[in-house]
Each structure stands twice: as structure tokens, then as C-alpha cells.
């Protein structure tokens, strides 16, 4: 019975008489370079020791480099592939605002009170009484008038929030006779127990921020962005619009009102079948606009610049002119050359990114495609409504909430500025919750300006424009501007991320290191695995036989 067990056991493994015999057989027959030297020089202990040191040193160096490569692989490095493609490009959306906000009749009384308070403030701070704020009301079409009629209601201007001279560090009111001071206003929480000063070195900046703070409280019952029909605005804003030297159609316009930047419109493709394509590069194959930039109804403390604000963006993204874009000088022809880049991020384990924003833990408040700024604004607004009990005026509202004003939400300004400063310092959790876009289109812009119309041509250009549109405001060149937007070149760069070390490259590098240090292949790894298996099997077998011999008969 004992003989049968022994034969069966030895049939499953390659049985050796001893571990030394097994090791000699391995050294004589393996494909790993250098191991045969361990066996051939076993009678010379010095050589054997030398080759043992070389062997284990090579083994250690190889696995050290293996560790480096595996560490690099688990860091998920990326490489960037840039390709140049040349074809007709879909034209970007172009949003332009005239920097001339309206004075709605529903809130005009309160705006007049604010203007009077501003005049008194300027006189008390600087002994200046030359500000003559215009108290005019713009009546748009019946649609806009009906929209704002529903927001009738009382409002009380908080005249306790006033501009004042502050100490040099902005921590409190300036002492009498103090020559160096800041200017700002005090904001307290709802209980009045925690206050701080919003301070500025520039009196112009302080006055503008103070005025805008009161302004958004007054305007809190009127939606910040009103989408309206373009007939009225088109007559009073745009002299002409041409794309590839053909008149734009009304379906390519989207008009809206912004409380700070005034009348705005976006020229954008409406769906893929109606997309605007630029067949060639150059000014003749782009968008050309002639528009009014007069400041007839300007609110001087709210809108300090004259001209227009333009933003060039992806048609699927909302126009956030308060965050992006640049200003256009009146009385000029501005030519804007556009270069397009497409960027694609890998996402996942190679870095967080979002394609649609569905898995972020929050619902975007914008009805357009995902963008990082839309996510940050939405996240901030959710935090604002949660912490302060109301929403910031310039961002869309979550359902069931309302915009802040200090009549209903005392201390909201204190709460808002605390949160906003965290956003500015990138200390807010929204920056970790909102990843970048997986795929985005970038527009590189270069602009040049020239005087338009020229002193000699204005004698016929301005009268022709005014007669064509029935606009008899003025014949001054400073009231009009011309804007050209076009592709500088049709070829665009596609920047795509690819894994810098995929699994195939990792295995290839490991195989190269194995071959460098031992001059062997993957089959040599199998030989080592076989040696380990034989060693374990022999140890088990010898232990079994030893216990069996010691067992009492």
C-alpha cells in the first residue's frame, strides 16, 4: 500500500532526490542567462559567490524598475495628440450687448431714490454734486411691459447701507482727519451681530459695487434675463447684419435683456440643418454687424463704459457676458479673427471630466449643454439658497426659491459675500464637485480696430444709416460701431488625450527590462514559476514522508 502511494505521488510532480539536485537541474536547463554559471562554478566558491551577487543584484534592479513602471501606470499618465483638420467650420455663436441697461417703469421710482442717495453720498464723501442721473423710462413692446406688470409691489430702499470712509485697513470708519483711507459699506447678518466692511481703495469701484448691490435688491422681482421678440430691439439696436455678405434672417437672432449689459442679441445657428457654416477664411466669409452704441438711456453709476460687449462662444453654451467677452469701442470698426480648437479629455481614471453633467449630484440650472462655469454657478446658487435662504440675482433659480432682497432677507449680502470670497479663493466645495468638460470647443481670438467711419466717409455713411432705419438720434461717429467676426483659417486643431502608458506598453517595457537584465523571455518566467511550484511540492512531499516515518507503527 505504501509503494502504491509513493508511485502515485511521484507521478504528479517531477521528483528530485534533494533540493540541491533540483536547483542544479534548473541551472543547467533554464533559458535565463547567468544561472548556468552558478552550477558550473560550484567547485569554486569565489566564483559561485560572485555570480550569486550578480544574479540577485540584477534581479533586484529589474524589480526596482518594475516598481517604477507599475507606479507610473497606476498614476494614469496621459499624452496629448494634436491633429490638424481642414474643412468648413460651423460658425460660433456671437452675443453682443449695448452696455445700456433699461430703467423699467415698475422699479423706476426706487431707482430714482437710489440715484438721489448716490448724489448725496458723493457730496458727503467728496463734496461733489455734479452727478445728474437720468430718470428716464424705456417702454419696450407690450410683451415686455406685461411681463414686468406682474411684479408690482412695495419696496423700501435700505438707506442704512451707505458708502463711508474707512480706516486704511478697511476694518472700520475712518478717524477724523485721517488722510489715507479706503471707501466701502458695512454689511451685517440678519441679527446684526456679525458685521464686516466691504472696502475698496478706489472710490469709483466702491461706488459702483455699492450701487449695484442696491440695484439687484430693487430688481429682484424682475427676471435678470428676459427673452423678448427682436422686432423692437432690432430696429433700435442693429443697423445691419450680414453673414457671408448675405442678410441675416430673424430666425438666426435671439434677443434678450440683461440687467447690467442692456439689450443683447445672439446670432446663432438654430439646429444642425440650419447651422451657419463658413466655407472659407477671411472677412468676406464671416459675420458683419453695424450697430448703435449710444448711451441715450445710460445709467452712469451702473454702466460705466460706452460701446458694446461681445462674446464668442459655442452655440450650445449659454452666453454669460458677465464672465466672458470683451468690450468694443464706439466709433470703430473691430475685426475679430477666430481660431478654433477642439479638446477631448479621457476622463475616468485619467482625470475627472463630465460630458452631460448627469452624474454630478446636482442638477444644472441652465438649459444648455454642460460647461464648467454653468456647473459652478449652479452649485453656488444651490449653496446660496441653502445658506442664505434666497438666490443670487445673476444666476438661475432652483424651483421653489426667490431672489434676494434685503426687505425680505435681511443680511443676505453678508452671507453672499462670505460665500463668494470662498469661490474667488477656490476654497468652495463646488470646485471639487464640478469637473472640466470632457469635450469642449475653444476659440482663440485676435482683434484689431480702426476708426469708423473715417472723417471723410462719415458724411455719407451716417446719414444713409439713419435714413435706412429712421434713426435720427445723432450724426456723431461715437454712436455707432461696426464688428466683423470671421475665421482666420479653416483648419483647426483637435487636441485629444490618450493614455501615456496603456497595459500593452507596460508589458512591453517590463519585457524589455527582463530581457535586458536576464536575456530571457516570458517563457523564462514560466520556468521560474515551475521552479517555485516544484520547491513547494517537494517541501510538502518531504514533510509528509518525514511525518509518516515518525508515526508509530
Map 92-123 to HEC letters: CEEEEECCCCCCCCCCHHHHHHHHHHHHHHHH
Which of residues 468 and 524 earns the better pLDDT score? 524
Instruction: Count CA atoms closer than 13 A to 312's CA, side-chain side.
Output: 26
User: Is the pLDDT reported for residue 509 higher than 90?
Assistant: no
What nine digits make up the cell of 47? 566564483
Q: Is residue 529 part of a domain?
A: yes
Confidence of residue 148 (pLDDT cuts 50, 70, 90): very low
Last residue of a domain, one of 200, 220, 240: 220
Write the DSSP string, 221-258. GS-SSEEE-HHHHHHHHEEEEEETTEEPPGGGEEEEEE
Neighbour count for residue 256 (Cβ, 10 Å): 19
Q: Is the domain of 202 the same as that of 154? A: yes
Which residue range is the domain that position 204 belongs to? 108-220
Confidence of residue 335 (pLDDT cuts 50, 70, 90): very high
420 burial level (CB within 10 Å; 0-12, 13-18, 19+): middle
Last residue of a domain, one of 190, 220, 250: 220
Give CA–CA dist 288/540, Å, rounded.
87
Longest CA pairwise span in the chain (Å): 127
Peptide bond into 453 cis (omega under 30): yes
Confidence of residue 404 (pLDDT cuts 50, 70, 90): very high
* Strand 226-228 with 253-258, pairing: antiparallel
User: What are the phi and psi torsion angles at 355 (to 5°)?
Assistant: -100, -35
**Residues 354-373: tens digit of each pLDDT:** 888 777 888 888 887 888 88
Q: Is the domain of 204 the same as that of 160? A: yes
Give CA–CA dist 499/497, Å, rounded.
7
* Residue range 452-470: mean pLDDT, rounded: 71
Q: Is residue 184 part of a domain?
A: yes
Q: Is the domain of 72 the same as that of 112? A: no
User: What are the phi and psi torsion angles at 495 (to 5°)?
Assistant: -100, 115
Write the DSSP string, 186-231. EEE-TTSSSEEEEEES-HHHHHHHHHHHHHHHHGGGS-SSEEE-HH
Give CA–CA dist 373/435, Å, rounded.
10
Exposed e or buried b per residue across 205-227, where buried means at least 16 C-beta atoms within 10 angstroms of its C-beta:
ebbbbbbebbbbbbbbbbbbebe
Last residue of a domain, one of 220, 245, 272: 220
**For the ranges 26-40, 187-201, 437-451, 491-505, which has the lowest average pLDDT?**
26-40
Exposed e or buried b per residue across 299-338, where buried means at least 16 C-beta atoms within 10 angstroms of its C-beta:
bebbbeebbbbbbbbbbebbbbbeeebeebbbbbbbbbbb
Which of residues 498 and 212 earns the better pLDDT score? 212
Exposed e or buried b per residue across 9-42, where buried means at least 16 C-beta atoms within 10 angstroms of its C-beta:
eeeeeeebeeeeebbeebbeebebebbebbbebe
Write the DSSP string, 397-463. PPTT--B--TTTSTTHHHHHHHHHHHHHTT-STHHHHSPEESEEEEEEEEEEEEESS-TTTHHHHHH
What nine digits make up the cell of 240? 445691419
Give CA–CA dist 446/340, Å, rounded.
12
The pLDDT of residue 485 is 92
Q: Is residue 58 part of a domain?
A: yes
**Residues 105-136: tens digit of each pLDDT:** 788 888 888 888 888 888 888 887 766 555 44
User: What are the phi and psi torsion angles at 352 (to 5°)?
Assistant: -70, 135
| Full-model pTM | 0.75
The pLDDT of residue 1 is 40
Which of residues 517 and 468 earns the better pLDDT score? 517
* Residue range 167-175: mean pLDDT, rounded: 80
Comparing CA positions, the residue from 305, 292, 275 lying closest to residue 472 is 292
Q: Is residue 87 part of a domain?
A: no
Q: Is residue 354 part of a domain?
A: no
User: Is the pLDDT reported for residue 138 higher than 50?
Assistant: no
**Residues 55-103: tens digit of each pLDDT:** 788 888 888 988 898 888 888 888 888 888 776 667 888 999 888 887 7
Q: Is the domain of 119 the same as that of 192? A: yes
Q: Is the domain of 59 the same as that of 153? A: no
Positive or negative, the Cα torsion across 426, 431, 436, 437?
negative
The pLDDT of residue 6 is 38
The pLDDT of residue 45 is 72
Cα angle vertex 230, ends 229, 234, to 5°? 155
Q: Is residue 522 part of a domain?
A: yes
Exposed e or buried b per residue across 191-204, where buried means at least 16 C-beta atoms within 10 angstroms of its C-beta:
eeeeebbbbbeebe
Number of domains in the chain: 2
Comparing CA positions, the residue from 449, 447, 481 lying closest to residue 462 is 481
Q: Is the domain of 130 the same as that of 214? A: yes
The pLDDT of residue 360 is 80
Amino acid at each position: 500500500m505504501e509503494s502504491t502511494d509513493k508511485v502515485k505521488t511521484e507521478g504528479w510532480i517531477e521528483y528530485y532526490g534533494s533540493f540541491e539536485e533540483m536547483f542544479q537541474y534548473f541551472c543547467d536547463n533554464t533559458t535565463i542567462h547567468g544561472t548556468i554559471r552558478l552550477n558550473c562554478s560550484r567547485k569554486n566558491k569565489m566564483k559561485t559567490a560572485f555570480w550569486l551577487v550578480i544574479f540577485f543584484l540584477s534581479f533586484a534592479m529589474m524589480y526596482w524598475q518594475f516598481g517604477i513602471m507599475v507606479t507610473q501606470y497606476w498614476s494614469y499618465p496621459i499624452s496629448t495628440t494634436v491633429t490638424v483638420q481642414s474643412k468648413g467650420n460651423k460658425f460660433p455663436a456671437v452675443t453682443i450687448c449695448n452696455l445700456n441697461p433699461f430703467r423699467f417703469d415698475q422699479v423706476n421710482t426706487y431707482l430714482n431714490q437710489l440715484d438721489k442717495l448716490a448724489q448725496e453720498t458723493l457730496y458727503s464723501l467728496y463734496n461733489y454734486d455734479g452727478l445728474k442721473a437720468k430718470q428716464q423710462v424705456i417702454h419696450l413692446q407690450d410683451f415686455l411691459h406685461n411681463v414686468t406688470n406682474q411684479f408690482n409691489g412695495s419696496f423700501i430702499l435700505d438707506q442704512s447701507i451707505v458708502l463711508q470712509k474707512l480706516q486704511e485697513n478697511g476694518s472700520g470708519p475712518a478717524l477724523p482727519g485721517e488722510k489715507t483711507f479706503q471707501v466701502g459699506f458695512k454689511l451685517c447678518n440678519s441679527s446684526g451681530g456679525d458685521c464686516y466692511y466691504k472696502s475698496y481703495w478706489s472710490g469709483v469701484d466702491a461706488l459702483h459695487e455699492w450701487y449695484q448691490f442696491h440695484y439687484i435688491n430693487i430688481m429682484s422681482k424682475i427676471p435678470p434675463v428676459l427673452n423678448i421678440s427682436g422686432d423692437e430691439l432690432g430696429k433700435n439696436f442693429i443697423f445691419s447684419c450680414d453673414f457671408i455678405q448675405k442678410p441675416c434672417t430673424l430666425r438666426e437672432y435671439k434677443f434678450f435683456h440683461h440687467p447690467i449689459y442692456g439689450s443683447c442679441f445672439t446670432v446663432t445657428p438654430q439646429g444642425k440643418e440650419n447651422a451657419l457654416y463658413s466655407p472659407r477664411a477671411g472677412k468676406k466669409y464671416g459675420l458683419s454687424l453695424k450697430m448703435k452704441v449710444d448711451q441715450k438711456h445710460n445709467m452712469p453709476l451702473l454702466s460705466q463704459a460706452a460701446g458694446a460687449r461681445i462674446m464668442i462662444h459655442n452655440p450650445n453654451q449659454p452666453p454669460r457676458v458677465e464672465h466672458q467677452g470683451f468690450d468694443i469701442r464706439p466709433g470703430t470698426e473691430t475685426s475679430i479673427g477666430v481660431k478654433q480648437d477642439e479638446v477631448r479629455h479621457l476622463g475616468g481614471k485619467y482625470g475627472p471630466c463630465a460630458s452631460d453633467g448627469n452624474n454630478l449630484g446636482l442638477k444644472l440650472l441652465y438649459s444648455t449643454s454642460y460647461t464648467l462655469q454653468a456647473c459652478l454657478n449652479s452649485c453656488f446658487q444651490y449653496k446660496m439658497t441653502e445658506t442664505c435662504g434666497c438666490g443670487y440675482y445673476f444666476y438661475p433659480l432652483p424651483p421653489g426659491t426667490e431672489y434676494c432682497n434685503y426687505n425680505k432677507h435681511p443680511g443676505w449680502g453678508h452671507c453672499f459675500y462670505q460665500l463668494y470670497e470662498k469661490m474667488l479663493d477656490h476654497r468652495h466645495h463646488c470646485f471639487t464637485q464640478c469637473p472640466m468638460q470632457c469635450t469642449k470647443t475653444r476659440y482663440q481670438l485676435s482683434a484689431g480696430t480702426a476708426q469708423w467711419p473715417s472723417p471723410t466717409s462719415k458724411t455719407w455713411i451716417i446719414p444713409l444709416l439713419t435714413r435706412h432705419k429712421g434713426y435720427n438720434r445723432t450724426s456723431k461717429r461715437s454712436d455707432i460701431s461696426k464688428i466683423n467676426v470671421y475665421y482666420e483659417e479653416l483648419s483647426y486643431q483637435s487636441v485629444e488625450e490618450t493614455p501615456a502608458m496603456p497595459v500593452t506598453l507596460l508589458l512591453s517595457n517590463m519585457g524589455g527590462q527582463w530581457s535586458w537584465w536576464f536575456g530571457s523571455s516570458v517563457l523564462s518566467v514560466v520556468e521560474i514559476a515551475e521552479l517555485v511550484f516544484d520547491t513547494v511540492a517537494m517541501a510538502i512531499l518531504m514533510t509528509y514522508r518525514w511525518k509518516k516515518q515518525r508515526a508509530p507503527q
